[in-house]
Amino acid sequence: MAKYKLEYIWLDGYTPLANIRGKTLVKDFDKFPTLEMVPNWGFDGSSTKQAEGHSSDCVLKPVGVYPDMTKTNGAIVMCEVMLPDGTPHPTNGRATIHDEPDTWFGFEQEYFLWKDGKPLGFPSDGYPKPQGPYYTGVGYSNVGDIAREIVDTHLDICLYAGINHEGINAEVAKGQWEFQIFGKGSKRAADEVWVARYLLMRLCEKYKVDVELHCKPIKGDWNGSGFHSNFSTKYMREVGGKEYFEKLMAAFDKNRNEHIAVYGPDNHLRLTGLHETQSIDKFNYGVANRGASIRVPHAFVNNGYKGYLEDRRPNSAADPYKVASRILQTINSVPTK
């Protein structure tokens, strides 16, 4: 038997953006616990905007257990929030995702490392050199002194946790970075993005650095941050076809506002038509077009309109649960014959 430190994490009820919360449960196990072994737990919802004080108990229902490299016998327990009667709490976006084991999502999380009110590596007065050398850059004047250590350590911690990272890169603005997570199953990549965000924020504490998820934290000629959402259903990968694709895009066009509503706050500051974006009030798609709402990869067309598509509109602060849920709702409104 050993004492395991289980960090239960969940999303609170703040709007427009939920915060990640966490607290530790110590429990005896004779091996690293599986999902079946970790119990439901509870918390005071009146402190997280999830309940009134007179009836404040909310339930934490574990949905994934991830080894925590930074602790002896540590685990992160990702949870969804339930009401005491066992139904999903209204703030529980995960529960609204249609459960589809054969639907795949790949999310590209862009973000800024943030210190003293500005991107990590910005001078104390004014601005650094304009954008150009930072994207995938190397060298102290491009990436600074601690960013590399943070992003590389984060990658190691995530891989150890079993998160399916596909890669990381320095982004276009100074202090801006990206990681990509892919998952099979309609909820998996979204779960892993939340765990990866949590691990990044926690890692950054000791560097006195924050993770800035706002989509346009610096005004002017500096890129904003996106959360490109790549998706494919089994039907899209195996049947597809031009006719189905065009119906799908018509459904995305029709539901443009419903999509934008869950694609992250302040997106009008980012979706301007500049900096590789389409403007917020337009919907279009284009082959290999990074200025489109939806980018259609060359391979998709070459394979007879089969494969995955990239929705470029979600922003860095978007809740992956709400994004996945909305994309699937629109896809499932289109008949597949």
Q: Annotate each residue in 159-188 with x if it binds Mn ion (CB under 5 A) or - if it does not, as one string.
A: -------------------x----------
- Partner whose binding site includes residue 68, from Mn ion, ligand ADP, none (CB under 5 to 8 Å by kind): none
Determine the interface stretch with Mn ion among 43-51, 224-232, 240-248, 253-261 (rule: CB under 5 A): 224-232
Q: Which is nearer to ligand ADP, 115 or 312 (CB)?
A: 312
- Partner whose binding site includes residue 109, from Mn ion, ligand ADP, none (CB under 5 to 8 Å by kind): none
For residue 250, give both structure tokens.
């018509």
d(CA 278, CA 71) in angstroms, rounded, equals: 44
d(CA 219, CA 217) in angstroms, rounded, equals: 7
In the bound complex, what is the minimum distance in angstroms from residue 2's beta carbon to ligand ADP? 36
- Partner whose binding site includes residue 29, from ligand ADP, Mn ion, none (CB under 5 to 8 Å by kind): none
- Partner whose binding site includes residue 308, from ligand ADP, Mn ion, none (CB under 5 to 8 Å by kind): ligand ADP
275 binds Mn ion (CB under 5 A): no
Give me the residue label for tokens 């070459």: 302
- Partner whose binding site includes residue 21, from Mn ion, ligand ADP, none (CB under 5 to 8 Å by kind): none
| 3-class SS of residue 231 | strand
The alpha helices in 206-319, defined as continuous H runs, are 234-238, 242-254, 256-261, 298-302
Summarize as ranges the residues that interact with ligand ADP (CB under 6 A).
104-106, 108, 166, 180, 182, 228, 230-232, 307-308, 310
DSSP symbol at 226: B
Phi, psi of 119 (to 5 degrees): -60, 140
**Continuous segment of H or E residues that includes residue 48:** none
d(CA 79, CA 7) in angstroms, rounded, equals: 10
In the bound complex, what is the minimum distance in angstroms from residue 189's beta carbon to ligand ADP? 8
Residue nearest to ligand ADP (CB): 106
- Nearest CA-CA partner of 312 in 241, 263, 254: 263
In the bound complex, what is the minimum distance in angstroms from residue 15's beta carbon to ligand ADP? 28
Q: Which is nearer to ligand ADP, 174 or 228 (CB)?
A: 228
The alpha helices in the chain, defined as continuous H runs, are 140-143, 147-161, 188-205, 234-238, 242-254, 256-261, 298-302, 320-331
228 binds Mn ion (CB under 5 A): yes
- Partner whose binding site includes residue 232, from ligand ADP, Mn ion, none (CB under 5 to 8 Å by kind): ligand ADP
108 binds Mn ion (CB under 5 A): yes
- Partner whose binding site includes residue 106, from Mn ion, ligand ADP, none (CB under 5 to 8 Å by kind): ligand ADP
Beta bridge partners of 179: 109, 168
Residues 6 or more apart in contact with residue 130 via CB below 8 angstroms: 221
Binding site for Mn ion (CB under 5 A): 108, 178, 228
